[in-house]
Amino acid sequence: MLTSLLHDDPQGFGAYRLLARMGSGGMGTVYLARSRGGRTVALKTMHARIAADPDFRTRFRLEVDAARVIGGQYGAQVVDADVAAPTPWFAAEYVLGPPLGAAVELAGPLPEVTVRAVGAGLCGALGQLHRSDVVHRDLKPSNIMVTAHGPKVIDFGIARALGDDRLTRAGAAAGTPAFMSPEQASGQEHTPEGDVFALAGVLVFAATGRGPFGDGQPADLLYRVRYAEPDLTGVPHALVPVLARCLDKDLSARPTTQELMLQLHDGAGEFVDHLPRALLAEIGRCAGGVWQAPPPRLPAPPRADSEPEPEAAHPAHPARGLSRRRLLAIGGGSALAVAGGAGAWAYSAARDEPAPYKKPPPGPSVSASGGKHDWRWQSQIVKGYGDKSPAHPFRAGGLVVIRSGVGFQGIGIRDGKARWSTEDFESDQDVASDGDRLYRLVDLDAEKDRGPKAMRFPLTIAPVDLHDGSRKKALAQLGTFNGVLPFNQLVCAANGVLYLVAGQGEKSRERFERGDTWSLLAVEAKTGKKRWTSPLPARTGGERLYVLAAQVAGDRLVLFQQTADGKVSIVAHDTGSGRALWNKPFPGPAPDPVDVMGRMRTDGDHLYVGGSALRALRLSDGKEAWSTAPKRAGGVFGPPSAAVDGAVYAVEKGQGLCAVDAGDGKRKWREKGAGEGEAAKAAVADPPVIAKEHAYVRGPSGLRAVALSSRKTVRTYKTTGDRFVADEESGVIIGVGDRFVAAFDLL
Amino acid sequence: MKAAGGEVPRHIGPYTVIACLDDEHGALYGPPPPVPERRFFARGSDGDTVLVCVPHPGVDPGRFAAEAGMSRYLLGTWTAPATWLAPPGEAPWHARAYEPALPLPMALAVLGGPLSEPTVRVLGAALADTLSVVHGQGLAHAGISPASVLLTAEGPRLTCFGAVRAAGPDGEPRYGLPGLETGSLAPEQAAGGHPRQPGDIHALGATLAYAATGHTVPERGEIPPVLRDVLTACLARDPAARPGTARLLEAFGSAAPDMPGTPGLSAAPGASTAPGTPEVPGPGWLPGRLVAALARQSAVLLAADIPVPDTVPSPPSPAPPVPPPSPAPSVPPPSSVPPGTAAPSHD
């Protein structure tokens, strides 16, 4: 993932101007950078304070040497370097593909043909190193990038020449226990045979999703590496003897890279022919993603008014890899994870959907033609890597706040000017707005791999400063809940109360665990006082969020609550006591959770839902007040609007906009031209937006405004946006597409 | 002929040319289908990479510029609106941000054969969907041909908007005009008729036939059976006999709903996902060899370092463009240049 440059990142190194961050660790930072002539590279630096230690500077230089030895076929071609600079750096080819670790997370254990092809490529890479008397010493899934033309080995942070003893301290504790050779684990010299051992471990991982010695505490791993037999369960039958030989404790029994290559692969076909489709798709995304506009540099953080915070709650620069929480939104599906760790090259790829819209940049050539656009303003947003759900616009204090890249962007609702962007918001589920103020959960995902302390942290809620997007002083820290759990949610904010889903338990995996307990709770925004907690059904697994949508209506908190298997029920709580008042399955055929996410419409008396019929449920007891079903069987309705002047509006599939009486569900009217043309093609997935005597309905040619009085389309705004909210106060309707936010003047 | 249509310019407007998108070798059978415009990878002075297009010699610059200007208003997921245009009064070009893409004829050359039938269907659904949006805007695309379809990892891009209108005015025969592909050009347009929407259907049919067989005018028997009827209908001589986009969407979507290995992993943004709608391209829709070709093209352009002149030569005058200051542009050697990056001759 490319993330924004921080305010104090330098402009560039050598001839290279920095564009974005690719990743950062304890030793240094990797940037995406570009020369004046447009050559685009990954530029790796070592922090000046670390490079002040001669041992570390030597290590950096050796890394550059090793990267040069391996060259562009099996590694990232080094194109420039200055190892003598105060901040030493080198620029290398930007590699188009995921690390093997992420590839396995994405595509699952790889098929035997893929494992063989990757293995053969790695034999070539190691052979090339070994012929130059260099050993890698730290081959592992995160150090191997899978490209369309073969694997590339990167990160030579601890590679060294055979017999080289210049590295004493800096290189001593090197290696990754899970893939370390037994001789390395016992502190002896690591030889080419040790790289072969690690290679076999990597292939076991590729074929099964885990290393041959499992995982766990480093000490246990080191013991197993030295004394236990490798676990080859799940390795394709024909590969077992080949890999077992490589994993022999006796290094003289292991094959050379040359022998192993012949045993793995006959060389037929092209490398790309052996890749599964999910991996091909990812490589395709990498090839295109690097050309997307990088996220803008972040402004300097605020100074005076920021108050001291608990240290762990405020990582200095939360330069993070891929946010795991982003992937959870709906649950199920595949998940990606980044290969992390200090010094590792962060995986970088913008995962983007096709761009239906390209922002015409300002320039005489564009404005000269006099073409008039329909929007008042529009602003580009960056689709985050791995985002599963469309970004939801929040309105707060005259801003539209929307997910963009890894963070959020605050845009002035009247003028469309981007006021700030952040990179440490997590996802829509962390944020809630009451219209005036924005609140967020403080998350420690960035530190999730930094030891046991980061596995547990009090659940922390903070207001967001709408001037600069920074987090203000925490309003509540709840020690009984674990703020690190990935399924915590800030579900809504209303009438000075924040409603949350929060869990108790240890974070061990990115899924629900047996033994965790989860609650719905209400916290006063002003005082941070907990008002009540109400238990949520226990979960024993899965990764589906509890709450898909929530609203406060009168004294009811209404939730679209998701079960572990993806069913949706409607639950109402008393906002005073927290007591659950009723709980009903979503009426009609089970909805797709995506379709109801963030799309709840209530008024003082009723909750309105679409589906096979339009229905109104009484907020008091959850019983159906009316339904259009008996009269019009077979219809399909999108999510309705809330009642406006006694009518509820929805799109009826194949017909268009219709209005029913909010009191009894009788149809009042259909729009003119219903069932034909644009009306028939109106998007059913979206609720109509009602503002100032017009209903706004999305369709293939844009956003149509239908006058409620004449029932006629009075205007069509050209836009490919697909999420709309109206802001009557500023007289605009905000439309969001995958790459942009735009504001259109309301009629 | 050098690289599809004459000498390769070093500069186009504010851009320095890196390489040609199209090359004269990339055909499956016989000579490659003509390209409606000349297309180049190029660098702006800020180091940004674009795809910049200029008209063929002999094409009226005003007509070309008008179509490029109009294309900026195209809606739809798979269209390719121009982002930057030549200032009025200067030699016309249009440009948009680079993304890795292979022209359809080049894709067939890379594969050494036509696209598989499921891939053609997904391509057809995306292009028919695009046409329904463009037609909904009241426009005729009038530029669909094999070379106007670019394939990216995320889906196709329908480029060359208005090529037929740009090539020659109504009322004059358009047979053999530069850049127009004979098989894709609807007979009524070839005869000089005003390009209308049914002509797009004809061109789409010919282009999909090309994708499926390597020819825009295939024998009926060459076309995969599930596509045979619909493509033949598109190619009807009588414009009124050609199907509408709705019928095409239905045909491409329903031909084989549960075929294993059907490409397309995700719905297009904003597209309806109701059951029965055709599958649309998404990550993973392309065969591996094309993904590899896209990755290579991307890598070559990432690595290309093109010295950019400090002051941009402005090319309105017929004088030859000012050569860039030394050192000479370093262009990747032709041997390492993948399909889609035919090296220009700078000499």
Residues in Cβ contact with B201 at an 8 Å cutoff, skipping those fewer than 6 apart: B131, B234, B242, B243, B244, B245, B248
3-state secondary structure of A519: strand
**pLDDT score of A450:** 43
Q: A2, A725, A740, A1: which is closest to A381 by C-alpha?
A: A740
Residues in B closer than 8 angstroms to A38, CB to CB, are: 43, 47-49, 304-306, 308
B191 vs B237: CA distance, rounded Å: 12
| CB-CB under 8 Å, A35 with B284 | no
| CB-CB under 8 Å, A737 with B78 | no
CA atoms within 13 A on the CB side of A118: 32
Residues in Cβ contact with A367 at an 8 Å cutoff, skipping those fewer than 6 apart: none
B243 vs B246: CA distance, rounded Å: 8
Cβ-based burial of B204 (10 A; exposed 0-12, middle 13-18, buried ≥19) = buried
**pLDDT score of A737:** 81
Strand positions, DSSP E, A508-643 = 517-524, 530-535, 547-553, 556-562, 568-574, 580-585, 601-602, 606-609, 615-618, 624-627
Q: Are B145 and B177 in contact (CB under 8 A)?
A: no
**pLDDT score of A605:** 86
Q: What is the ipTM of this complex?
A: 0.84
**Domain range annotation of chain B:** 11-100+292-336, 102-289
**pLDDT score of B6:** 64
How distant, in Å, are the alpha carbons of A204, A485, A523 from that of A456? 32, 8, 20
Residues in A closer than 8 angstroms to B72, CB to CB, are: 360, 366, 369, 371
**pLDDT score of A436:** 86
Residue A69, phi-psi category: left (phi > 0), alpha (psi -120 to 50), beta (remainder): alpha
| CB-CB under 8 Å, A369 with B272 | no
Q: Are A701 and A660 in contact (CB under 8 A)?
A: no
Q: Which of residues 204-263 of B touch A (CB under 8 A)?
A: none
Displacement of CA A448 from its chain's centroid (Å) = 15
Q: What share of chain A is helix, strand, coil (3-state, %, to 5)?
A: 20, 30, 50
For β-strands A29-35 and A431-433, DSSP reports them as unpaired
Chain B nearest-CA distance from A96, in A, is 7
**pLDDT score of A334:** 24
A456 vs A451: CA distance, rounded Å: 10
A444 vs A315: CA distance, rounded Å: 8
A220 is catalytic: no
Q: Which residue is closest to B301 within chain A, CA to CA?
A: A39
| CB-CB under 8 Å, B137 with A272 | no
Whether A317 is covered by a domain: the verdict is: no
A726 forms beta bridges with A733
Chain B nearest-CA distance from A476, in A, is 38
Instruction: Kindly name the residue from A65, A80, A133, A138 that is annotated as catalytic.
Output: A138
**pLDDT score of A234:** 92
Among B154, B280, B286, B297, pick the best mutation site for testing chain A contact (most A Cβ within 10 A). B154
| CB-CB under 8 Å, A285 with B283 | yes
**pLDDT score of B269:** 35
Omega before residue B327 within 30° of 0, cis: yes
Is B76 part of the contact surface with chain A (CB cutoff 8 Å)? yes
Selecting from A36, A79, A365 the residue whose C-beta is nearest the C-beta of B87 gives A365
A35 vs A68: CA distance, rounded Å: 20
Chain A nearest-CA distance from B219, in A, is 31
Residue A91 in tokens: 């620029």
Q: Give pLDDT tens digits for B24-42.
A: 655 566 778 999 999 999 9
**The whole model's pTM is what?**
0.60
**pLDDT score of A113:** 96
DSSP structural state of residue B4: T
Chain B nearest-CA distance from A149, in A, is 7
Chain B nearest-CA distance from A39, in A, is 5
> Binning pLDDT at 50, 70 and 90, where does residue B308 land?
low
Backbone angles phi, psi at B272, to 5 degrees: -65, 140
What residues of chain A score a pLDDT lower than 50? 162-174, 304-371, 385-386, 445-453
Q: Give pLDDT tens digits for A341-363.
A: 222 222 322 222 222 323 333 22
pLDDT at B78 > cutoff 70: yes
B22 vs B37: CA distance, rounded Å: 10
A313 vs B256: CA distance, rounded Å: 54
Residue range B187-192: mean pLDDT, rounded: 96
Q: Which of residues 41-60 of B touch A (CB under 8 A)?
A: 43, 47-49
| CB-CB under 8 Å, A283 with B291 | yes
Residue A355 in tokens: 């761009």
Residues in A closer than 8 angstroms to B281, CB to CB, are: 354
Domain that holds residue A265: 100-277
**Residue A519: how many other CB atoms lie within 10 Å:** 18
| CB-CB under 8 Å, B272 with A685 | yes
| CB-CB under 8 Å, A702 with B75 | yes
Among A16, A40, A388, A594, pick the best mutation site for testing chain B contact (most B Cβ within 10 A). A40
Q: Which residue is closest to B293 within chain A, CA to CA?
A: A148
Whether A114 is covered by a domain: the verdict is: yes
B11-100+292-336 carries CATH number 3.30.200.20: yes
Q: Which residue is closest to B272 within chain A, CA to CA?
A: A683
What's the total number of domains in chain A? Answer: 1
Whether A189 is covered by a domain: the verdict is: yes
Whether A266 is covered by a domain: the verdict is: yes
Chain B nearest-CA distance from A577, in A, is 41
CATH classification code of B102-289: 1.10.510.10
Selecting from B81, B273, B298 the residue whose C-beta is nearest the C-beta of A287 gives B298
Among B116, B302, B310, B314, pick the best mutation site for testing chain A contact (most A Cβ within 10 A). B302
Residue A330 in tokens: 């709906």
| CB-CB under 8 Å, B265 with A722 | no
pLDDT at B20 > cutoff 90: yes
Backbone angles phi, psi at A18, to 5 degrees: -80, 140
Residue range B87-102: mean pLDDT, rounded: 93
Residues in B closer than 8 angstroms to A94, CB to CB, are: 299, 302
Whether A162 is covered by a domain: the verdict is: yes
**Residue B61: how many other CB atoms lie within 10 Å:** 15
Residue range B66-86: mean pLDDT, rounded: 88
Whether A159 is covered by a domain: the verdict is: yes
| CB-CB under 8 Å, B288 with A35 | no
**pLDDT score of A504:** 85
Among A16, A34, A147, A291, pick the best mutation site for testing chain B contact (most B Cβ within 10 A). A291
Residue given tokens 């080949």 in the structure block: A242
Chain A nearest-CA distance from B134, in A, is 9
Q: Which residue is closest to A274 within chain B, CA to CA?
A: B288
**pLDDT score of A298:** 77
Which range (A135-144, B183-192, B206-215, B247-256) has the least confidence?
B247-256
**pLDDT score of A387:** 53
| CB-CB under 8 Å, A368 with B87 | yes
Chain B nearest-CA distance from A77, in A, is 10
| CB-CB under 8 Å, A281 with B308 | no
Whether A195 is covered by a domain: the verdict is: yes
Whether A288 is covered by a domain: the verdict is: no
| CB-CB under 8 Å, B295 with A283 | yes
**pLDDT score of A310:** 35
A262 vs A271: CA distance, rounded Å: 15
A99 vs A101: CA distance, rounded Å: 5
Residue B308, phi-psi category: left (phi > 0), alpha (psi -120 to 50), beta (remainder): beta
Chain A to chain B Cβ contacts (< 8 Å): 192
DSSP structural state of residue B172: S
CATH number at residue A154: 1.10.510.10
Q: A51, A97, A79, A24: which is closest to A319 by C-alpha?
A: A24
Question: What one-letter code names the amino acid at A6?
Answer: L
Residues in A closer than 8 angstroms to B136, CB to CB, are: 678, 700-701
Q: B330, B105, B280, B289: which is closest to A280 by C-alpha?
A: B289
Selecting from A288, A678, A722 the residue whose C-beta is nearest the C-beta of B100 gives A288
